[in-house]
Amino acid sequence: MTTPRRLLLVNGPNLNLLGTRQPEIYGRDTLADVERVTTEAAERHGHEVRAIQSNHEGVLIDAIHAARLDCAGIVINAGGLTHTSVALRDALASVSLPVAEVHISNITERESFRHFSYIEDVAVVHVIGEGVPGYARAVDLLIDVVVGRADG
């Protein structure tokens, strides 16, 4: 069986408000910009992207479960669920796909409750505080893992 040439891009709660929500922290780029940057990076490697954004944890978990059937890896910015959701972490762990964790802002330099990530131990790639361009770097690093150029 060949490895699928698709990545799942997961964006969690409130990321639909990018561009207008706290631009001093998250910048002016929108969710459409995130999806474009991610798709362009994946296409450079011959991969496609299926993108989902939801403010509902169960919708994200269902998408992660479905990814096990046709995706090679997952790029995720879980938003606030990063710091609260064991269920999301368990979904990522259960599908046996390499995961890239992305955060637009540097969560280690923000409020103390943002310093902990439930996703950190299941992700093989971490791109933190690089803004929207960080999604492209996450894709590059994740695809290196997917194709065997880097350890996952």
Q: How many CB atoms lie within 10 A of CB 130?
A: 16
29 annotated binding-site participant: no
90 annotated binding-site participant: yes
Q: Is 26 among the residues known to form the active site?
A: yes
77 annotated binding-site participant: yes
55 annotated binding-site participant: no
Task: Report the amino acid identity of residue 24.
Answer: E
94 annotated binding-site participant: no
Q: HEC states along 48-111?
A: EEEEEECCCHHHHHHHHHHHCCCCCEEEEECHHHHHCCHHHHHHHHHCCCCEEEEECCCHHHCC
Structure tokens belonging to residue 91: 């979904």
Catalytic residue among 26, 47, 118, 135: 26
Q: Is 135 among the residues known to form the active site?
A: no
Closest CA to 70 of 50, 46, 41, 42: 50
Catalytic residue among 45, 56, 65, 103: 103
- CA-to-CA distance for 68 and 53, rounded, in angstroms? 18
Active site residues: 26, 103
Binding region for substrate: 77, 83, 90, 104-105, 114
